[in-house]
Amino acid sequence: MKYVASIDQGTTSTRCIIFDKKGNIVSVGQKEHEQIYPKPGWVEHNSEEIWKNTLEVIAKARISKNIKLEDIAACGITNQRETAVVWNKLTGKAYYNAIVWQDTRVGETVNALTKSHGSQFFQDRTGLPLATYFSGLKIKWILDNVAGVREDAEKGEAIFGNMDTFLMWHLTGGTKGGLHITDVTNASRTQLMNLETVQWDAELAAIMNIPLQMLPKIEPSSKVYGHIQSETMQGVPLAGILGDQQAALVGQTCYQPGEAKNTYGTGCFMLMNTGTEIVPSKAGLLTTVAYQFENQPVHYALEGSVAIAGALVQWLRDNMGMIEKSTDVEALAKTVEDNGGAYFVPAFSGLYAPYWKSSARGVIAGLTRYVNKGHIARAVLEATAYQTRDVLEAMEKDSGIEVSSLRVDGGMVVNELLMQFQSDMLKVPVIRPKMIETTALGAAYAAGLAVGFWANLDDLLQNWGKDKTWKPKMKAAERKKLYTGWKKAIKRSFDWEK
């Protein structure tokens, strides 16, 4: 067998990527799906559309390079995490659109639970502070607001899944016996899983009033779970599941404690492997599961999650019409020397790490008549770099490890201006590997390991190669001035909503 396939169900698009043994891309199918914004702060996806796109991108990836079924050793799934869908297992129909991780509709429930139990109570058990981000409260919202779901859930007919579970169920037969499973990394993002036992926590489910029977079985991240029933890849073993940020950690081969990566996509997510140790965060990070290979102990990670990174570039394109394509932002930002005093705090979904302020909202600060489109484009890119510095400083505090260089990946790392500014702002080298589709690659690795396509982690380490390194060039005074401006701006975004 020559290949391993990977389905990457992201926030913006769904891809199927087929890799060879060296971790090179052989073929890609990709399709964007609609972003649905019914009200300010609400973000939804149509799960039916995503399922159709998944079949289409698998077919595209196979047909475009004429890849035979018998050449595919296994398939892995990686996905946008936390996004919650509830569907009926007898009809296959979803009760409501998938509620996306960025959605803030459960803000009031977060406030109420913070008063009744305290955020620390949830963080101690799940590694996650109370926030609108995680799946549990999104499931509760569907149960409380959509007619008939709670009754069906109690009967065992309405079931929950993140996008991994939803696709796994459909790919393995759907209403005809589809598997209802997830992996430890995805489960660790629901705020319903106990980090130590890696099992659902009945008390947390009771507090959120979620029937346990609607939750999927928790499995390791790498194992032959079943076989694909859909025609597009019939008979191929489904053998890996990883949340997309954990998949990028695996794809970047960060297998040693202390190794970290930062992925710049819709949001931006830095993860540091902490080995088999659960490291609680005091500095505003999440403690989460990194991965669990079959018959191996669970590995954990510290994570700094930033909700809006590339999404701000999309906003500039789609909502403001200031650029035509995301890539145009670099040329526009290069029309000026600096940010002209403007700072853009993209707290569109509140602020995640290290602030965790659900009530923050976006602001542009420091405006004068001098500021033009170029300065705004620059402020948009700089926002991602400042947020990454906030997270890196928290990571160093929590781990006690000084990060001496940063491995990066994701759609935004083609932006050279951003990469140089990032290195300047962190004062460490930023390293881009040859393969930046590390998310899909990580899920392929998990699946390939389970079927023996790759023998062990050493095989994978050999596939990693450097493409480009950016070294810090900025003068200390300039770095300090800019970051001080950011810290001032970010405070202006706090406590906007009640």
Ligand X SMILES: Nc1ncnc2c1ncn2[C@@H]1O[C@H](COP(=O)(O)OP(=O)(O)O)[C@@H](O)[C@H]1O
Of the candidate residues 194, 266, 287, 339, the single one contacting ligand X (CB under 6 A): 266
165 is in an annotated binding site: no
Note every long-range contact of 423-426, with CB atoms under 8 Å and residues 24 or more positions apart, other chains counting. 423/470, 423/471, 423/472, 423/473, 424/472, 424/473, 424/474, 424/479, 425/382, 425/385, 425/386, 425/388, 425/389, 425/474, 425/479, 425/482, 425/483, 426/385, 426/388, 426/389, 426/392, 426/472
Question: Residue 1 carries which DSSP code?
Answer: -
Residue with smaller CB distance to ligand G3P, 129 or 267: 267
310 is in an annotated binding site: yes
What is the H or E stretch that residue 375 is in?
helix 373-399
Q: Which two tokens stand for residue 192?
A: 């319903």
Q: Render the burial of 100-115: b for 16+ CB within 10 Å, e for the rest.
A: bbbbbbbbebbeebbe
Question: Residue 241 carries which DSSP code?
Answer: E
Q: Of the listed pieces 30-38, 147-155, 259-267, 359-367, which binds ligand G3P according to CB under 6 A?
A: 259-267
Please report whether residue 374 would count as binding ligand G3P according to CB under 6 A.
no
Please report whether residue 335 would count as binding ligand X according to CB under 6 A.
no
Residues between 44 and 83 that touch ligand G3P (CB under 6 A)? 80-82
| Separation between Cα atoms, residue 447 and residue 431, nearest integer Å | 26
Which listed option, ligand X, ligand G3P, none, makes contact with residue 82 (CB within 5 to 8 Å by class)?
Answer: ligand G3P
| Separation between Cα atoms, residue 494 and residue 93, nearest integer Å | 39
Q: Do the beta carbons of residue 340 and residue 371 sit within 8 Å? A: yes
- What's the closest the beta carbon of residue 338 comes to ligand X, in angstroms? 18
Of the candidate residues 27, 47, 97, 245, the single one contacting ligand G3P (CB under 6 A): 245
Please report whether residue 410 would count as binding ligand X according to CB under 6 A.
yes
12 is in an annotated binding site: yes
Please report whether residue 330 would count as binding ligand X according to CB under 6 A.
yes
* Helix/strand/coil for 289: strand
Please report whether residue 136 would count as binding ligand X according to CB under 6 A.
no
Per-residue binding string, ligand X, 212-251, x by CB under 6 A, is ----------------------------------------
The residue type found at 450 is A
Of the candidate residues 16, 289, 329, 444, the single one contacting ligand X (CB under 6 A): 329
Residues 6 or more apart from 63 whose CB is under 8 A from it? none
Task: Return the bridge partners of 466, or none.
Answer: 433
199 is in an annotated binding site: no
- Residue 3 has, within 13 A of its CA and on its CB side, a CA count of 24
Q: Which two tokens stand for residue 480?
A: 């300090």
- What's the closest the beta carbon of residue 225 comes to ligand G3P, in angstroms? 20
Task: Determine the residue with CB nearest ligand X.
Answer: 411
Task: Report DSSP letters for 299-312, one per residue.
Answer: EEEEEEEES-SHHH
Q: Render the burial of 78-87: b for 16+ CB within 10 Å, e for the rest.
A: bbbbbbbbbb
Nearest to 242 by CA among 320, 175, 163: 163
Residue with smaller CB distance to ligand G3P, 152 or 244: 244
Which listed option, ligand X, ligand G3P, none, makes contact with residue 313 (CB within 5 to 8 Å by class)?
Answer: ligand X
245 is in an annotated binding site: yes
Q: Of the listed pieces 152-160, 281-289, 311-319, 449-457, which binds ligand X according to CB under 6 A?
A: 311-319
Q: Do the beta carbons of residue 41 and residue 104 sit within 8 Å? A: yes
- What's the closest the beta carbon of residue 328 comes to ligand X, in angstroms? 8
Which listed option, ligand G3P, ligand X, none, makes contact with residue 245 (CB within 5 to 8 Å by class)?
Answer: ligand G3P
Angle, helices 416-426 vs 373-399, to 10°: value is 40
Residue with smaller CB distance to ligand X, 310 or 354: 310
Please report whether residue 14 would count as binding ligand X according to CB under 6 A.
no
Please report whether residue 132 would count as binding ligand G3P according to CB under 6 A.
no
Which listed option, ligand X, ligand G3P, none, makes contact with residue 314 (CB within 5 to 8 Å by class)?
Answer: ligand X
71 is in an annotated binding site: no
Q: How many residues sit in the footprint of ligand X (CB under 6 A)?
A: 19
Please report whether residue 13 would count as binding ligand X according to CB under 6 A.
yes
Place of tokens 């599941």: 241
Please report whether residue 12 would count as binding ligand X according to CB under 6 A.
yes
Of the candidate residues 3, 4, 6, 10, the single one contacting ligand G3P (CB under 6 A): 10
| Separation between Cα atoms, residue 409 and residue 389, nearest integer Å | 16
Of the candidate residues 74, 149, 228, 412, the single one contacting ligand X (CB under 6 A): 412
- What's the closest the beta carbon of residue 322 comes to ligand X, in angstroms? 13
| Separation between Cα atoms, residue 36 and residue 483, nearest integer Å | 34
Please report whether residue 311 would count as binding ligand X according to CB under 6 A.
yes
Residue with smaller CB distance to ligand X, 215 or 306: 306
Residue with smaller CB distance to ligand G3P, 101 or 291: 101
Task: Return the bridge partners of 302, or none.
Answer: 272, 287
Q: Binding site for ATP: what residues are annotated? A: 11-13, 266, 310, 314, 411
Q: Binding site: what residues are annotated? A: 11-13, 15, 81-82, 133, 244-245, 266, 310, 314, 411, 415
- Interface residues with ligand X (CB under 6 A)? 10-13, 265-266, 310-311, 313-314, 326-327, 329-330, 410-412, 414-415
